[in-house]
Amino acid sequence: MLEIKDLSISVENTPIIKNLSLTVRRGEIHAIMGPNGAGKSTLARSIMGYPGYEVNQGSVLLDDKDMTELEPEERATSGLFVSFQYPVEIPGVNNAEFLRMALNAKRNSQGLEELDPLDFDDLLTQKMDALHIDRDFKNRGLNEGFSGGEKKRNEILQMAVLDPKFAILDETDSGLDIDALRIVSSGVNQLANEQNGLILITHYQRLLNHIQPDHVHVLLDGEIVKTGGKELALELEEKGYDWLKQPSHS
Amino acid sequence: MSSTTDETFRGQEYAYGFQTDIESETLPKGLNEEIIRALSSKKKEPEWMLQFRLDAFRRWQQMEEPDWAHVHHPPIDYQDITYYSAPKKKPVLDSLEDADPELLRTFEKLGIPLREQKRLANVAVDAVFDSVSIATTHKKQLLEHGVIFCSFSEALIDYPELVQQYLGSVVPTNDNYFAALNSAVFSDGSFVYVPPGIRCPLELSTYFRINNEESGQFERTLIVCAEESYVSYLEGCTAPMFDSNQLHAAVVELVALDKAEIKYSTVQNWYAGDPETGKGGVYNFVTKRGKCAGEYSKISWTQVETGSAITWKYPSCILVGDNSVGEFYSVALTNGHMQADTGTKMIHIGENTSSTIISKGISADRSSNSYRGLVKVNKGAKGARNFTQCDSMLVGDQCYANTFPYIESQNPSASIEHEASTSKISEDQLFYFQSRGVSIEDAIAAVVHGFCKEVFNHLPMEFAVEAQQLLSLKLEHSVG
pLDDT tens-place string over residues A26-59: 999 999 999 988 999 999 999 999 998 999 999 9
Q: Which tens digit of pLDDT belongs to each residue from B433-464?
A: 999 999 988 898 888 888 998 898 888 876 78
A174: confidence class by pLDDT, cuts 50, 70, 90: confident
DSSP secondary structure letters along B119-167: S-SSEEEEEEETTEEEEETTHHHHHHTT-EEEEHHHHHHH-HHHHHHHT
Contacts of A88 in chain B (CB under 8 A): 426, 428-429, 432
Decide if A70 touches B, using CB distance below 8 A: no
Decide if B426 touches A, using CB distance below 8 A: yes
ipTM for the assembly: 0.95
Q: Does residue B12 have a pLDDT over 50? A: no
Q: Which tens digit of pLDDT belongs to each residue from A58-103?
A: 999 999 999 999 999 999 999 999 999 999 999 889 999 999 999 9
Comparing CA positions, the residue from B363, B369, B361, B396 lying closest to residue B479 is B396
Decide if A87 touches B, using CB distance below 8 A: yes
The enclosing H or E element of B451 equals helix B440-456
Report the alpha-carbon distance of residue B451 to residue B330 in Å, rounded. 12
Contacts of B446 in chain A (CB under 8 A): 90, 93, 97-98, 101
The pLDDT of residue B122 is: 64
Decide if B412 touches A, using CB distance below 8 A: no
Distance from CA of A50 to the nearest CA of B (A): 7
Q: Is the dihedral of CA A143, A147, A151, A153 positive or negative?
A: negative
A106/B453 CB distance under 8 A: no
Report the alpha-carbon distance of residue B382 to residue B399 in Å, rounded. 41
Q: Does residue B192 have a pLDDT over 80? A: yes
Distance from CA of B430 to the nearest CA of A (A): 10
Comparing CA positions, the residue from B108, B106, B109 lying closest to residue B117 is B108
Decide if A91 touches B, using CB distance below 8 A: yes
Q: Which tens digit of pLDDT belongs to each residue from B318-367?
A: 999 999 999 999 999 998 889 999 999 999 999 999 999 999 999 988 89
- Packing angle between helix A148-162 and helix A178-191, nearest 10 degrees? 10
Mean pLDDT of all residues in B73-95: 76
- Which one of A62, A73, A170 would you mutate to disrupt binding with B, by most B Cβ within 10 Å of its Cβ? A73
Q: Which tens digit of pLDDT belongs to each residue from B225-258?
A: 999 999 999 888 666 676 777 888 999 999 999 9
Q: Find the residue in A nearest to B423 (Cα).
A: A91
- Which one of B434, B439, B442, B452 would you mutate to disrupt binding with A, by most A Cβ within 10 Å of its Cβ? B434
B436/A162 CB distance under 8 A: yes
Decide if B48 touches A, using CB distance below 8 A: no
Decide if A112 touches B, using CB distance below 8 A: no
Q: Find the residue in B nearest to A91 (Cα).
A: B450
Mean pLDDT of all residues in A9-13: 94
Q: Which tens digit of pLDDT belongs to each residue from A159-168?
A: 999 999 999 9
The pLDDT of residue B131 is: 65
B442/A101 CB distance under 8 A: yes
The pLDDT of residue B113 is: 67
B450/A109 CB distance under 8 A: no
Q: Find the residue in A nearest to B445 (Cα).
A: A93
Kindly list the distances between the CA atom of residue B136 and the CA atoms of A174, B91, B150, B205, B463, in Å, as whole numbers in the listed order.
Answer: 65, 10, 6, 9, 19
Contacts of B426 in chain A (CB under 8 A): 88
Comparing CA positions, the residue from B124, B30, B119 lying closest to residue B79 is B30
Contacts of A105 in chain B (CB under 8 A): 436-439, 442
**Average per-residue pLDDT in chain A?**
92
Local structure of A200: helix, strand or coil: strand
Distance from CA of B246 to the nearest CA of A (A): 37
Decide if A11 touches B, using CB distance below 8 A: no
Would you give the end-to-end CA distance of chain A in angstroms?
36
Nearest to B446 among A72, A93, A109 (CB): A93
Nearest to B435 among A82, A106, A109 (CB): A82
Tell me the CATH class for A2-242.
alpha beta
Domain residue limits, chain A: 2-242
The pLDDT of residue B361 is: 94
Q: Does residue B5 have a pLDDT over 70? A: no
The pLDDT of residue B92 is: 53
